[in-house]
Amino acid sequence: MKHVNIGVITQSQLLISGISSLFSNIKEFSVTVTDFDSYCEFQKKCDIKPSVLIVEPMLMSHEYISEIKDLTDGRCRLVAICYSAIPGCITEMYDASVSIYDSIDTIRNTVMQLLQSERVDDETKAISKREKEVVKCIVKGLSNKEIAANMNVSVNTVMTHRRNIASKLQIHSTAGLTIYAIVSKLVSIEDISSYSQP
């Protein structure tokens, strides 16, 4: 079971208790909730790198959001927790937003989707940059010889990359790699349809 840390930037003890309770019984992950009463406190404890950071937007500036992305190497997903209507220009800076009036399931599902997308990101990073290029070429329908010519490597190198990809991802078909490439955002569905057209 993967351990994840959910951070909360709020001054409300009630909100912290509620969020801790909300994620105490998740089956897919072992969850620790860490609370910070301000961005400055979060910054001081930069060794804690939460997977998801739930934030009161009124406690954050645009600069703070950019700094959080830098401090966490862009891996932290930000969720705005709103008490009232918030302008779109503020909520669009976050990966998701929830309201204190949302149901428990809605809040939990929103955060779980972000954690699942983090898992996809981790899997994408498991293969090297060159292996990602090979996956893109495979999805385009290129043969090993064509991939080798495109990448200026030998056919044996391409075959080694393909073996490594299959071993790392446990995907052994072109269809499976195509789904993987779409889900991990290596290619878009539009790209796939354009590859198949003459």
Q: Are residues 96 and 146 in the same domain?
A: no
Residue at a domain's end among 101, 122, 143: 122
Q: Which of 15-19, 26-30, 70-74 has the least mean pLDDT?
A: 70-74
- C-alpha 164/C-alpha 168 separation (Å) is 6
Please state the φ and ψ torsions of residue 30, each to the nearest 5 degrees. -95, 120
Residue at a domain's end among 122, 142, 175: 122
**SS3 category, 68:** helix
Q: How many domains does the chain fold into?
A: 2
Q: Are residues 30 and 64 in the same domain?
A: yes
pLDDT tens profile 133-182: 999 999 988 999 999 999 888 898 899 889 888 888 888 888 888 888 88
pLDDT given for residue 79 in this prediction: 93
Q: Which domain holds residue 115?
A: 2-122
Q: Are residues 42 and 112 in the same domain?
A: yes
Instruction: Assess whether pLDDT exceeds 70 at residue 96.
Output: yes
Judged by phi (left if over 0) then psi (alpha if -120 to 50, else beta), residue 185 lies in: left
**Residue located via tokens 């043969």:** 143
Q: Which helix (H) or strand (E) holds 94?
A: none
One-letter identity of residue 156: N
- C-alpha 86/C-alpha 7 separation (Å) is 21
pLDDT band at 194 (very low <50, low <70, confident <90, very high): low
Residue at a domain's end among 122, 137, 160: 122
